[in-house]
Amino acid sequence: MRVTALFKRIVLQLVRDKRTLALLFLAPLLILTLMHLLFTSNEVPSSIGVIGGSFEIVERLEDQDFEVTVIEETTTLKKLVEEQDLDGILKIDGEKLQLTLENTDPSQTKMLQAKLQQVLSLTQDRTSIEMAYVYGNENTSFFDVLSPILVGFFVFFFVFLISGIGLLRERMTGTLERLLSTPIKRWEIVMGYLLGYGLFAVIQTIIVVLYAINVLDMVLKGSMWHVLLINLLIALVALSLGILLSSFATSEFQMIQFIPLVIIPQVFFTGIIPISGMPEWLQMFSNVMPISYGANALKSVMYKGQGLGDVQFDILALMGFAVVFIVLNIVALKKHRKI
């Protein structure tokens, strides 16, 4: 009863706070989209000139999305690349191939080179080479590997911040003290908070996951339900950690100060940087970072297509964190009322 009243109140307050709602629901989408665009815009430069190639080779190149310009023989190839604004020129003289590349961006040049070699090996051997990938496919971009981690991270970050500030504001305005002067039990307050902010965490998780998969075309090999479940657990941990840490902050600004202390270090242990390459003592840290378990579970389900059975350890770890934080929250409220 009291829990429901608290739940309803929090929902009502948040619904009226349109800007916080927008931050919760739209900011993750904005950042995800931005990262999607940044990491997938690795278009291979594709305008090349061909000298002396057969009609067949030109056709083959065009099939592979190359923008081919057939060029009559000239002596200064380098000059020609600049004049015609090409990414490179392929000179075919019988069996001898000569490639002149513009090379203003070495990484892009490498990609062009690789792609050309792929096309040429096909034409020369006249046998198609079948590519096999353990995970992902020929379209795999860095974003695909990163995205499961990002989804989990944004859910964690925004839920952490908003729930933490929610309880903090309640404390600063004196309403927490007022609330504690009623017969409400401490666990009822924690539960009310978990449910109230939990509802928004659920909505946020659904929006982020649906958007990432349907609009950004994120790789989802496993079940969508598993992704939602894992994200909900991440949100629960973030929620309970957020309200717990808020009792150590005396202002919104101090709450923000927890970001470099609590949030940023966790990013390093999500798997964006390979953990196995770290010194052993540093690897120990990842064991106490909730996000590392969440990110690992999400990566397994979304990218590798594994089921819940494969990530049960991560799920149990997340649940463990949530339970510990919730109990600590109930204890921490003792600071404000001894009973």
Partner 1 sequence: MSILQVSNVTKSYGKHSILSDVEFSAEEGQIVGLIGPSGSGKTTLIKLIVGMDVPTTGSVDMLGERVPNLGLLKKIGYMAQSDSLYHDLTGYENLTFFASMFLMSKREVKERIAYVTQLVQLESALKKRVSTYSGGMKRRLSLAIALIQNPQILILDEPTVGIDPELRKSIWTELVRLKVEEQKTILVTTHVMDEAEKCDVLTMIREGRVITTGSPQELKAIYDVTNLEDVFLKAGGEAHARHSSL
For partner 1, the binding residues (CB under 8 A) are 1-2, 4-5, 8-9, 12-13, 16-17, 173-175, 177-185, 336-339
| Rounded least distance, CB 180 to partner 1, Å | 6
| Closer to partner 1 by Cβ: residue 10 or 77 | 10
What lies within 8 Å, CB to CB, of 308 at 6+ separation is: 226, 229, 301, 315
| Closer to partner 1 by Cβ: residue 18 or 96 | 18
Beta strands 88-93; 67-71: pairing state: unpaired
| Closer to partner 1 by Cβ: residue 218 or 332 | 332
| Rounded least distance, CB 339 to partner 1, Å | 4
| Rounded least distance, CB 325 to partner 1, Å | 24
| Closer to partner 1 by Cβ: residue 4 or 74 | 4
User: Do residues 157 and 263 make contact, with C-beta atoms less than 8 angstroms apart?
Assistant: yes
| Rounded least distance, CB 329 to partner 1, Å | 18
| Closer to partner 1 by Cβ: residue 173 or 283 | 173
| Rounded least distance, CB 37 to partner 1, Å | 36
Which neighbouring-strand residues pair with 70? 50
**N-to-C CA span, the chain:** 20
What lies within 8 Å, CB to CB, of 258 at 6+ separation is: 164, 245, 249
